[in-house]
Structure 1
Amino acid sequence: MTLEATASNASDGSSASGSSFYAAMRILPREQRGAMFQIYSFCRQVDDIADSDGPRPERLAALQQWRDDIDALYQGQPPARLREYVASVRRFGLKREDFLAIVDGMEMDVPQDIRAPDLATLDLYCDRVASAVGRLSVRVFGLSEGDGILLAHHLGRALQLTNILRDIDEDAGIGRLYLPLEGLLHAGITGTDPLKVISDPALPKVCAPLVARARAHFEKADEVMRRSSRRVVRAPRIMSKYYRAILELLVARGFAAPRTPVRLNKMARIAIVLRYALI
């Protein structure tokens, strides 16, 4: 599971055209928009490998090929599938290490499915699959180096934690559990079997600290965006407001079983775009 605002599995559609990512990126000038859709495409392709049901050794080899291709891109010998990335890398100063971090993050699900990582591992996962995407994105948006890295750190983690909280049941269905081990133990849950954990009456106690953590990251991201030019933070602000609304809907619904799926309705999505893109 990755940061679908910029990668895949959007809550309101399986492709970019149905996602908050698409709505946010459509407001960008052509060159920025093109670069962002290249980042999207890269994330999507790598994520599809990690989430496929193919043999694990084959998936690991396919991810390694992406690392090799990224290296070739930065050595001036881009493979065909990355040839169009050359101009964006040069124009926006996209960093090789951020592309590679994304591959590393996707790979964390491949040797074995993630189940109840400790907090440090969960934070590393969020950094790789979400904040690394943000570090590429803020360069395209035009934020200053310091505030850009800070925004990527906080907004990436806020969005990914929201994804984890929203997709608890879906992830458990494929054998994954991203809730932290420390939270399970604090709630008195000693096992890590995903289907048993999500049916445990103590699950809301596990989710509450993640909600608080996500909210704190949203607040820190807002601080950065408030002191930045409105023009350069229009797109990340749309994604932030969209996912903050999802988080609050999750809180209002609660985390006790049975849990109905949560999504933002079309009118609410349109209102966010109109408010933060046009006004």
Structure 2
Amino acid sequence: MSNLLDVGYSRCADLTKRYGTTYYWGARLLPVAQRRDVHAVYALCRLADDIVDEPERDNPAVSRRGTAAERLEVFRHQFFTALSRGTSPEPVMAAVVDSIRRRGTDPECFERFFDAMAADLTRTTWATWEELRDGYMEGSAAVIGEMMLPVLQPYTPAAIGPARSLGLAFQLTNFLRDVGEDLDRGRVYLPQADLARHRADPRLRRVTPAWRTMMAEQVARNRQLYAHAQTGLPLLPPPSQRCVGTALVLYSRILDRIEAADYDVFTERIRVPDREKLHLLVRAVTIGVPEVDFQPRAA
């Protein structure tokens, strides 16, 4: 591997370790070559997302000139240009392109992804769950599952449905955990119809009976997505199964902590402690990933 790619993959790993700890710890269960590819997919998505959500964050792989929309369009153009050429002088982009071409990932996935990132610059609310899922999360979440599949090497194409559900599940968990942060950015990723039906207002930034019932409904929806995603684990080779299963269990535990906090997602960011992540990682290696019962819980 050239020095350019060595540097690029190293930077992708640093980005994943810093901002995507669940992806990072899950990827530790994969062989080194696959681990690098997970880091590359995550890095591309993180850099694009940061242009939209964290424009002040400096990264040498991304231009600092222009508006967020202009920077995102430049980054998109640089990516597809590098993909068509097969390389890039920028280390991170070179690693991303090397991974995508080597794994045979469909370039169309990235069209949907960049379209969703651009939508974040113009849309602040979504009317219904179906509109949010199909109009935004299709390109920002479900497609991430599709991007990861060539890295995970499933036994059958039937794995695509559960992989898409896992992408949706991860992002919906983010939406429920990060309500306050998203409000600070002027966005609400909770369906307006659901908020109206429960008469819940996130702008109050406090837990009310209406907020509890609305959030309980969202958590139940989220667990249904995790349940479908879990059906895809047997379709993966053992290392990929351990990787995805560990990430699934860890991220789903955020929902448990949201419930334990009485749905207070405003006071502080809800996290799964590092010791719990390490425990599950060791368990996955020595015993296996535990199967989680995502059936609806009694009120």
Asked if Structure 1 and Structure 2 have the same fold, meaning a TM-score greater than 0.5 normalized by the shorter chain, the answer is: yes
Choose from 223, 234, 246 the match for 2:231: 223
Residue matched to 1:143? 154
Choose from 126, 132, 138 the match for 1:122: 132
CA RMSD of aligned residues (A): 2.7
Residue matched to 1:3? none
Q: Could you give the per-residue CA deviations for residues 61-105 of structure 1, whole angstroms, max 9, x where no partner exists?
A: 222223323332342354433333343223211121112222222
Residue matched to 1:7? none
Structure 1 residue 278 displacement after superposition: 3.9
CA distance in 1, matches of 2:268, 2:101: 45
Choose from 167, 177, 193 the match for 2:178: 167
Choose from 135, 138, 145 the match for 1:134: 145
Alpha carbons 2:180, 2:265 under 8 Å: kept: no
**Measured at CA, do residues 257 and 120 of structure 1 come closer, stay the same or move farther in structure 2, by a change above 3 Å?**
closer
Q: Could you give the per-residue CA deviations for residues 251-275 of structure 1, whole angstroms, max 9, x where no partner exists?
A: 2222258655321122211111112
Alpha carbons 1:131, 1:156 under 8 Å: kept: yes
Structure 1 residue 160 displacement after superposition: 1.0
Residue matched to 1:10? none
Residue matched to 2:256? 248
Residue matched to 1:16? 16
Choose from 58, 66, 74 the match for 1:65: 74
CA distance in 2, matches of 1:148, 1:123: 19
Q: Could you give the per-residue CA deviations for residues 23-67 of structure 1, whole angstroms, max 9, x where no partner exists?
A: 111222222122121112111110111114579x72112222233
Alpha carbons 1:117, 1:178 under 8 Å: kept: no
Structure 1 residue 157 displacement after superposition: 1.1
1:270 aligns with 2:278: yes
**Measured at CA, do residues 172 and 201 of structure 1 come closer, stay the same or move farther in structure 2, by a change above 3 Å?**
farther
CA distance in 1, matches of 2:266, 2:100: 46
CA distance in 1, matches of 2:79, 2:191: 31
Residue matched to 2:10? none
Alpha carbons 1:187, 1:205 under 8 Å: kept: yes
Residue matched to 1:91? 102
CA distance in 2, matches of 1:78, 1:175: 37
Amino acid at match of 2:211: L
Residue matched to 2:61? none
CA distance in 2, matches of 1:64, 1:107: 8
Alpha carbons 1:235, 1:277 under 8 Å: kept: no
**Measured at CA, do residues 111 and 78 of structure 1 come closer, stay the same or move farther in structure 2, by a change above 3 Å?**
farther
**Measured at CA, do residues 198 and 49 of structure 1 come closer, stay the same or move farther in structure 2, by a change above 3 Å?**
farther
- Structure 2 portions without partners, runs of 5+: 1-13, 57-63, 288-299
**Measured at CA, do residues 258 and 91 of structure 1 come closer, stay the same or move farther in structure 2, by a change above 3 Å?**
closer
Residue matched to 1:31? 33
Count of residues in Structure 1 that have an aligned counterpart in Structure 2: 262
In the superposition, the TM-score normalised over structure 1's length comes to: 0.83
Amino acid at match of 1:17: K
**Measured at CA, do residues 268 and 84 of structure 1 come closer, stay the same or move farther in structure 2, by a change above 3 Å?**
closer
CA distance in 1, matches of 2:267, 2:115: 32
Residue matched to 2:291? none
